[in-house]
């Protein structure tokens, strides 16, 4: 498991993922299966209670706290999904506001949380 702090941390793993081109299968939001040298590994991306973004992979490297290319590959999908979910929520809130003009856009906060895995 490692804590995701920024994109720099992932550079090497992303480079390797681009070379190896592992297969990433979507299980559910935050949970992916990534093909590796010894079959599939499960990668779990989540935000801990104290706000840290953590990434877990079942491979040996990740056990030692290394940023593996499985994690990088899964994250690229996860980030794209988080963005899409965010965009969808924004649309929904805009729609809600049109239909209920006196409703405060409280959905905004929720949106931030959904898209929390953004890497900038
Ligand atoms: Zn891994």
pLDDT in single tens digits along all 120 residues of the chain: 899 988 899 999 999 999 999 999 999 999 999 999 889 999 999 988 888 899 999 999 999 989 999 999 999 999 899 888 888 887 766 666 565 555 444 444 444 444 545 554
Q: Which residues surround ligand 1, an ion (CB under 5 A)?
A: 41, 57, 59, 62, 68, 70
- Cβ burial of 42 (10 Å; 0-12, 13-18, 19+) is middle
And the tokens for 68? 């593996």
The residue behind tokens 């702090």 is 5
CA–CA dist 9, 67 (Å, integer): 8
The CA 88 to ligand 1 mean position distance, Å, reads 30
The CA 90 to ligand 1 mean position distance, Å, reads 33
* Alpha carbon distances (Å) from 81 to 17, 40, 61, 98: 18, 21, 25, 26
3-state SS string for the chain: CEEECCCHHHHHHHHHHHHHCCCEEEEECCEEEEEECCEEEEEEEEECCCCCEEEEECCHHHHCCCCCHHHHHHHHHHHHHHHHHHHHHHHHHHHHHHHCCCCCCCHHHHHHHHCCCCCC
pLDDT tens for each residue of 77-100: 998 998 888 888 877 666 665 655
pTM exceeds 0.85 for this model:
no
The CA 100 to ligand 1 mean position distance, Å, reads 46
């Amino acid at each position: 498991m490692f804590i995701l702090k920024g994109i720099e941390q992932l550079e090497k793993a992303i480079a390797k993922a681009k070379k190896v081109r592992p297969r990433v299968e979507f299980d559910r939001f935050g949970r992916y299966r990534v093909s590796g040298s010894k079959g599939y590994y499960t990668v779990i991306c989540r935000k801990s209670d104290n706000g840290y973004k953590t990434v877990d992979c079942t491979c040996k490297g990740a056990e030692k706290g290394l940023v593996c290319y499985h994690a990088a590959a899964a994250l690229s999908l996860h980030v794209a999904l988080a963005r899409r979910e965010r965009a969808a929520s924004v649309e929904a809130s805009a729609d809600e506001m049109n239909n209920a003009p006196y409703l405060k856009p409280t959905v905004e906060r929720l949106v931030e949380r959904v898209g929390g895995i953004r890497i900038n």
